[in-house]
């Protein structure tokens, strides 16, 4: 590769929402507030799950990892977006773009797999309650989380270099607010059928197979629920599974639409707003869903607040 091409690799231009200056100002305020709330909400879930002895269970071990994922996921792109929205500079360095793409693909993959792990946890809790603590032992929980992280990283290592190394013939303007795979594929000046084909296959493995596992798990849970006669038992099952099922619906609804049709086939503006929802709204709602729908988390929050007040008075 010659020196000219090397010099052009210093930065990308992220157009984002620059075609709508009035919208940029509104988005800056809305996204900043949402980002701060996301940081606060997910940090609270992590702290409560770690500090309250009543929440030292497999479910909250996985929930802690989910909250950490959401924190990492939003932080990988939202600060750059806020910087670009706030001023005229819309650039991002080549290294910054590479890191952003790697984290976006990797963390997204981990979340798909972690949600499947959490579905298995709920399946065991509902269908095999007497053996729950034996089956979901700490060693298995840690192993499942490590597998999710490992496969997510492998997916990113497979797709990030092939996407970044596509010839662009001097085109470094990305019609998006982040270095996202479909947007980078669109600016390539060669046939991208092979890269898109590989992306589709990996999306099936990383996205659809975990989703199928989640649906099968909830099919078994539904069958078990239909056999429960007591109202209190049904309520407990819905409290146990409702939050996770809501999070799964939010997460998968967006990611399937975006990544099962990469490249030129997806609408640019629609893709931006879907990615924005995926990046900021879902991580913001996750802690709210688990807090508002879960009596154990609300109880833990109250205990911690009362303990802090007691300590303050003492």
Q: Check whether 260 has a pLDDT greater than 80.
A: no
Residue among 42, 58, 70, 44 at smallest CA distance from 251: 70
Report residue 45's pLDDT band, with 50, 70 and 90 as the boundaries.
Answer: confident
Task: Tell which wins on pLDDT, 289 or 120.
Answer: 120
Q: What confidence score (pLDDT) does residue 134 get?
A: 94
The pTM (predicted TM-score) of the whole model is 0.85
Q: Check whether 265 has a pLDDT greater than 50.
A: no
- The answer for residues whose C-beta is within 8 angstroms of residue 202's C-beta and 6 or more apart is 155, 158, 159
Please report where in the chains the tokens 């982040």 appear, as a residue: 178
Percentage of residues in the chain having pLDDT higher than 90: 38
Tens of pLDDT, residues 135-172: 999 999 999 999 999 999 999 999 999 999 888 888 88
Q: What confidence score (pLDDT) does residue 247 get?
A: 84
Report residue 74's pLDDT band, with 50, 70 and 90 as the boundaries.
Answer: very high
Report residue 180's pLDDT band, with 50, 70 and 90 as the boundaries.
Answer: confident
How far does CA 113 lie from the centroid of its chain? Answer: 10
How, if at all, do strands 173-174 and 11-14 pair?
Answer: parallel
Residue among 205, 166, 208, 206 at smallest CA distance from 183: 166
What are the beta bridge partners of residue 93? Answer: 11
Q: What confidence score (pLDDT) does residue 7 get?
A: 41
Superfamily of domain 9-298: Rhodopsin 7-helix transmembrane proteins (1.20.1070.10)
User: Rounded CA gap, 275 and 278, in Å?
Assistant: 5
Q: What confidence score (pLDDT) does residue 124 get?
A: 93
Q: Check whether 3 has a pLDDT greater than 50.
A: no
Q: Check whether 251 has a pLDDT greater than 60.
A: yes
Tens of pLDDT, residues 100-134: 999 999 999 999 999 999 999 999 988 898 999 99
Report residue 217's pLDDT band, with 50, 70 and 90 as the boundaries.
Answer: very high
Please report where in the chains the tokens 């490590």 appear, as a residue: 146
Q: Say which range, 37-41, 51-55, 271-275, 295-299, has the weakest mean pLDDT.
A: 295-299
């Amino acid at each position: 590769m010659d020196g000219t091409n090397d010099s052009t690799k210093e930065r990308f231009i992220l157009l984002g929402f620059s075609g709508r200056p009035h919208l940029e100002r509104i988005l800056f305020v809305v996204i900043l507030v949402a980002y701060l709330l996301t940081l606060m909400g997910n940090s609270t879930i992590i702290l409560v799950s770690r500090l309250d002895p009543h929440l030292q269970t497999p479910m909250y071990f996985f929930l802690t990892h989910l909250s950490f994922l959401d924190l990492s996921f939003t932080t990988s792109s939202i600060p750059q977006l806020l910087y670009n929205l706030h001023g005229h500079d819309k650039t991002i360095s080549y290294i910054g773009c590479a890191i952003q793409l790697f984290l976006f693909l990797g963390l997204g993959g981990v979340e798909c797999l972690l949600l499947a792990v959490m579905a298995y946890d709920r399946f065991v809790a509902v269908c095999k309650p007497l053996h729950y603590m034996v089956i979901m032992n700490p060693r298995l929980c840690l192993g499942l989380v490590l597998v999710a992280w490992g496969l997510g990283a492998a997916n990113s290592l497979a797709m990030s270099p092939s996407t970044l190394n596509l010839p662009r013939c001097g085109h470094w303007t990305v019609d998006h607010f982040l270095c996202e795979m479909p947007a980078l594929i669109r600016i390539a000046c060669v046939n991208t059928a092979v890269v898109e084909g590989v992306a589709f296959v990996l999306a099936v493995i990383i996205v659809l197979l975990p989703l199928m596992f989640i649906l099968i798990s909830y099919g078994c849970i539904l069958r078990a629920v239909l056999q429960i006669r007591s109202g209190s038992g049904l309520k407990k099952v819905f409290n146990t599974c409702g939050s996770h099922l809501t999070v799964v619906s939010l997460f998968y609804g967006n990611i399937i639409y975006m990544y099962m049709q990469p490249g030129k086939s997806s609408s640019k503006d629609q893709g931006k707003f879907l990615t924005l929802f995926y990046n900021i709204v879902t991580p913001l709602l996750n802690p709210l869903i688990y807090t508002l729908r879960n009596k154990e988390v609300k109880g833990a929050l109250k205990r911690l607040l009362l303990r802090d007040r007691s300590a303050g008075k003492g």
